[in-house]
Amino acid sequence: MMPFVETVSKIDFPHKVDQQKVKGYAKEFFLPHFPQAERLMSVFDNTEIKFRNFCKPLETYVSHNTFQKRNTEFVRCALEYSIQAIEECLTKAQLKKEELTDIIFVSSTGLATPSIDALIVNQLRLNPHINRMSVFGLGCAGGVSGMAKASALATANPDASVLLVAVELCSLTFLSTDFSKSNFVASSLFSDGIAACIIKGDNHKTEQQIKFVGSGSKLYYDSLDVMGWEFLDSGFKVLFSSDIPTIIHQNVKEDVSAFLAKYDLELSDIKNFIFHPGGKKVLTAYKEALAVEGDFLKNTRETMNDCGNMSSTTVLYVLDKFINDGFKDGYGLMLALGPGFSSEMVLFEMNNP
């Protein structure tokens, strides 16, 4: 029994901004309070990010807003743009909304109770008996974990039509009172993204040929401080370590090889690498550690160049690029790293119709 990815939809926000414009704003904002900013401005160029996907106009982020106001905007934007992505997904899949059996909502950048999936069900008038799952706190790894969870549900129920929605509005977590190096570096990387996917059980007929084979997770002991949030009265303070590329160098090849061995596969069997980019240093670490021939991270790199790091949603934008631009027949590996420190992997069998 092999569930499959029916379709993916993503949001390109109307406030997409050139990275150089963001750099100018950051310099003006940080320099009076963070003298190192002048010396570190090259960080914005070294990311190789050309554009940033933002849910609101750039100038709104430098004014002081309370956590309450920012989180209220998170709920509003998350719902509005999730609905847009879902409706596009349903149209592409030629699926009636009443046919959705499950909804999984993934995010780490805002809070809501009832959770956003409940708001979506209410506004779209989905089946009130739909099975709901809300996942918070997996950060950049959440998109891959969400795909694994959606596929597990579709494996258990071959008649399932599972809706996966990932929302990360990283820009709304920006603390205008935090002049730390971490916040400065984060201001050069993180963006906003919303993606929706429909995963179906194999009782459904399809022309799409991206089939789920298996998934794997790993939590690295004693690495809790590598990536995450510190929750303050003022909001979410970003925490991430410069050790991430080192962790990749030390672990990723062995971890990927061990995961693939469960399916009697080797790294050379993977034809499509659907990776979360992280940043330029992370991409370099992947290339050096895995030593795969050719530009195997082209779609990942181009997605980062065009949008920035959109946390959990980024890997779904990368998957959408594979679907639209074409993929090679064979296996596909989806991979992302996140807080914990942790890794998530999904194995696909990908064949063109």
In the chain, where the domains are located: 4-200, 210-350
Place of tokens 């946390």: 311
Cα(259)–Cα(247) distance, integer angstroms: 17
The tens digit of pLDDT for each residue in 72-97 reads: 999 999 999 999 999 999 999 999 99
Per-residue pLDDT of 44-63, as tens digits, reads 888 889 999 999 998 888 77
Which among 140, 170, 197, 307 is annotated as catalytic? Answer: 140
- Do domains 4-200 and 210-350 share one topology? The answer is yes
pTM of the predicted model as reported, rounded to 2 decimal places:
0.94
| Stated length of the chain | 353
Closest to 108 measured CA to CA, from 167, 65, 174: 167
CATH number of 210-350: 3.40.47.10
Assigned architecture for domain 4-200: 3-Layer(aba) Sandwich (3.40)
Query: Active-site residue 140, yes or no?
Result: yes
Per-residue pLDDT of the chain (353 residues; tens, 9 = 90+): 689 999 999 999 999 999 999 998 888 888 888 878 788 888 888 888 999 999 999 888 877 778 999 999 999 999 999 999 999 999 999 999 999 999 999 999 999 999 999 999 999 999 999 999 999 999 999 999 999 999 999 999 999 999 999 999 999 998 888 888 888 888 888 999 999 999 999 888 777 689 999 999 999 998 888 888 889 888 888 887 777 888 888 888 999 999 999 999 999 999 999 999 988 888 999 999 998 988 999 999 999 999 999 999 999 999 999 999 999 999 999 999 988 889 999 999 999 87
